[in-house]
Structure 1
């Protein structure tokens, strides 16, 4: 699945869908590698977003204290 600009919530929903496929063994062998690669991309995107939000919040709080 080509990665379009997803929100954090959309990425998490997609990850949940992929995980359910793994847990329920509903993925075909041919899909397994592609799903795993997509999950890795989504995890990276979510981690990057969380780090950016943390940085932004710290900056806002620091500006407020000055």
Structure 2
């Protein structure tokens, strides 16, 4: 029987909030414990979320 536990989410040390021209963005760079590819997620102050994961980044610094 397969393990049904959820994979762990691993956040990069590069995850942070940034301020660009007076606009705040929440930048998250993460991967799961079962996938080596990193995902870039950016949310603006209005809650609009943009996710870039295709193709997955091979290193968190590339995201």
**Same fold by TM-score greater than 0.5:** no
* More strand per residue: 2
Structure with the greater alpha carbon radius of gyration: 1
TM-score computed with the length of structure 1 as normaliser = 0.18
* More helix per residue: 1
TM-score computed with the length of structure 2 as normaliser = 0.19
